[in-house]
Amino acid sequence: MDAASSIRPALTPPVHIALIMDGNGRWAKRRGLPRFAGHQQGAESVRTVVRSCRELGIRFVTLYAFSSENWKRPASEVDDLMGLLRLYVRRERDELVREGVRVRFIGDRTRLAPDIQGLLDEAEQRTAGNSLLTVCIALNYGSRSEIVDAARRIARQVAAGLLAPDAVDEATFQEALDTRGIPDPDLVIRTSGEQRLSNFLLWQSAYAELIFTPTLWPDFSRADLEQAISEYHRRERRYGTTSG
- How far apart CA 127 and CA 103 sit, in angstroms, is 6
Helix, strand or coil, per DSSP, at residue 150: helix
* Of 76 and 131, CB closest to ligand IPE: 76
Helices H, strands E: what count in the chain? 7, 6
Cα 66 to the center of its chain, rounded Å: 10
Report yes or no: 149 and 172 within 8 Å, Cβ to Cβ: no
Count Cα atoms within 13 angstroms, Cβ side, for 112: 25
Cβ-based neighbour number of residue 145 at 10 Å: 15
Among 17, 21, 133, 135, binds ligand IPE (CB under 6 A): 21
Contacting ligand IPE within 56-115 (CB under 6 A): 64-67, 70, 81
The H or E element that residue 18 is part of is strand 16-20
Site string for ligand IPE, 179-218 (x = CB under 6 A): -------------x-x-x-x------------------x-
- Minimum CB separation from Mg ion for residue 244, in Å? 39
* Of 60 and 141, CB closest to ligand IPE: 141
Contacting Mg ion within 6-25 (CB under 5 A): 22
Among 14, 25, 107, 185, binds ligand IPE (CB under 6 A): 25
- Minimum CB separation from ligand IPE for residue 19, in Å? 8
* Of 67 and 134, CB closest to Mg ion: 67
Contacting ligand IPE within 156-175 (CB under 6 A): none
Active site residues: 22, 70
* 60 contact choice in ligand IPE, Mg ion, none (CB below 5 to 8 Å, kind-dependent): none
- How far apart CA 210 and CA 212 sit, in angstroms, is 7
User: What interhelical angle do 114-127 and 75-98 show, nearest 10?
Assistant: 20
Site string for ligand IPE, 129-158 (x = CB under 6 A): ------------------------------
The H or E element that residue 45 is part of is helix 35-56
Q: What are phi and psi of 34, to 5 degrees?
A: -70, 155
Binding site for ligand IPE (CB under 6 A): 20-26, 64-67, 70, 81, 192, 194, 196, 198, 217
